Structure 1
């Protein structure tokens, strides 16, 4: 493997000149710079990343915090961040927060201890105040799917209220009037907004919001099963069901089929997120898109701009869209 000494010898310059060229310093004569660059190319030399990080006080690594690893939604997020940063010759260190305040704080402290240049987070439990203080401590952060006042330039967001509205409006347009809803945990902002969108669609249609047709889950497949069973046990008739994520919709579909129901003839179901399995379940799931991969990519590009001086275009606000498949149908009753 060629060394920096061989590059200097091939170019006929000093080691300090090679170092300045490799670190992008402007104070190098154009002729000498070209000689060094030619020697680097001829020798196929790759700078030692550790030595380079010591020279510029950076590690070229970015910490990533996600709530969990076993959900396709967060798999899409991590894939988008890693591929975007890898294309820029940066690396990621991933930690899990498990939607727990202390675990998220421990994860952040671990990433700081690894000398990460910045953090990209899908943080659920950390307070706005904590995140603002963290960002102001000279460790830049980017937030996926969260808005924090004072950090707007570092936040990518989805209009979750509109997403909930689109799901329920679709069912109303199909003629459904009795529509049940399985929400995520209401203390989470995205779950609260999706439920508000559902309620807005009902109100616009002149329908009363029936609390007996709402079940609060925790975004798991099991909650979709339990939620459907609980809603049916309340003896409140419904012909359609909106689930606040695709995992719960998948659970509801599985439960309905176990009960001998014919979908969507007996029950129309709409999900939220459009994760990879949404078009593999039977019937294929009508759902609301949640472009988390695009949001994560933008967060990574924001960090590349903020920390490494790149000039990527960054989009911060995203709109949901309805993805029509086979799990809903017109109701004529």
Structure 2
């Protein structure tokens, strides 16, 4: 990590001058101002509020990086962290990265620059190498829903493959054989792993996976409608649809009903995540529960423990598994 000495050297000024520029002191020449800020941009230097926090016994905030706090899944994640923060007299600073590498990096820099030592990160945009460097810089940074080999003791993640496999096996156990999959079009591990779970379930049951039975869309209710519209227009007959998440399942249910399809009599639908909406759809959605609130609580506590210098417990759970929640959207195929 670049220091103010590095900035001063590259800018060709003294450390004192560099410090005055960065602290917006008066009577700084235009040349010095431009030279220092050019050096800051080249070196990726940030004013190290974190260093001040390191002097204190603890910082006052826990940082949280999510994709979009407006999405219920991430709202539940933030609430889980906030509960732990409040119990420990902390506040939460939330940043949205939108699964974009540039924005995730920018928001991580913001959290660090604002003195956050304990940080819970949900990142899908940043590479393993970049996250590894941040883990080295911030010893109390914990990754959620990400398995990073170089920092595995600080990772809490879901077995997406197993969850999708179990969801599809539930359909197969109910007698369904013509099963489609409504999948996220995001190029992230979650989407790939859940698609692989569907493939494995089909192959294991001798139903022969066919990519033409997979319909893609954004991981939202609108994406579910788009994917299901394509499914209907394909002219293929299905008795069940497995979906990437509950938001897509919501769009799938709505699209099917708009097209006069009786649910679940004609087509059964299963979701993934067990978001709040799942119990309020019609029919109420059978889904796989993602224990995100519990995982977020564990992640926040782990971050605080690491900040305090406590070792990671040998028996700590790092891999979590989804569980089936049976409601009304899946019935036995007669």
**Alignment TM-score, normalising by the size of structure 2:** 0.80
Is there any run of 5+ residues in structure 2 with no aligned partner, and where? Answer: 1-51
1:144/1:138 CA distance change after superposition, 3 Å? closer
Is the CA contact 1:212–1:236 (under 8 Å) kept in the aligned structure 2?
no
Q: In structure 1, what is the equivalent of residue 330 of structure 2?
A: 328
In the alignment, structure 1 residue 278 sits paired with structure 2 residue 281: no
- Deviation string 1:99-150 (CA, Å, 9 cap, x unpaired) is 1111111111111111111321111101110111011124531011110011
Q: Distance in 2 between matches of 1:113 and 1:184?
A: 34
Q: Deviations over 1:235-284 (max 9, x none)?
A: 22111101110000001111111112211011100000001111111100
Unaligned runs of 5+ in 1: 1-51
Q: Could you tell me how far 1:189 is from its partner in structure 2?
A: 0.4
Q: Determine whether 1:149 maps to 2:140.
A: no
Shift of residue 217, structure 1, vs aligned partner: 2.0
Please tell me whether the aligned partners of residues 212 and 231 of structure 1 are also in contact (alpha carbons under 8 angstroms): no
Matched, 1:187 2:205: no
Show the counterpart of 2:119. Answer: 119
Equivalenced residues, count: 281
SS in 1 for 2:241: strand
Using the TM superposition, give the Cα deviation of residue 56 of structure 1 relative to its aligned residue in structure 2, in angstroms.
Answer: 1.8
SS at match of 1:284: coil
User: 1:15 matched to which residue of 2?
Assistant: none
The aligned residue for residue 199 of structure 2 is 199
Give runs of aligned pairs for residues 81-96 of structure 1, distance below 5 A.
81-96=81-96
Give yes or no for contact 1:242–1:271 (8 Å, CA) kept in 2.
yes
Aligned 1:300-319 pairs, distance under 5 A: 300-309=300-309, 314-319=316-321
- Find the counterpart in structure 1 of residue 28 from structure 2: none
The structure-2 alpha-carbon separation of the partners of 1:157 and 1:297, relative to structure 1 and needing over 3 Å to count, comes to same
Aligned to 1:22: none
Tell me the TM-score normalized by structure 1: 0.81
1:23-102 pair list within 5 angstroms: 56=56, 58-102=58-102
Distance 1:198 1:55 in 2: 50
Q: Give me the whole-angstrom Cα distance separating, in 1, the residues matched to 2:72 and 2:232.
A: 29
SS of residue matched to 2:212: helix
Label 1:102 to 1:54 Cα distance change in 2 as closer, same or farther (>3 A): closer
The aligned counterpart of 1:249 is 249
Distance 1:109 1:190 in 2: 25
| Cα distance change, pair 186–100 in 1 and its aligned pair in 2 (3 A) | closer
Which digits, 9 at most, give the CA deviation of each residue in 1:274-311, with x for residues without a partner?
A: 01111111100000111111111111011111002468
Cα deviation per residue 1:170-205 (whole Å; 9 max; x = unaligned)?
111111111010112352101111111111111111
Runs (4+) of structure 1 exceeding 2 A deviation are 52-55, 57-60, 308-315
Q: Distance in 2 between matches of 1:116 and 1:276?
A: 30
Q: CA deviation at 1:53?
A: 6.1
**Partner-residue secondary structure (3-state), 1:134:** helix
CA contact (8 A) 1:186 1:216 kept: no
* Alignment partners' CA distance in 1, 2:126 and 2:296: 18
SS at match of 2:133: helix
Q: State the alpha-carbon separation in 2 of the partners of residues 221 and 270 from structure 1.
A: 14
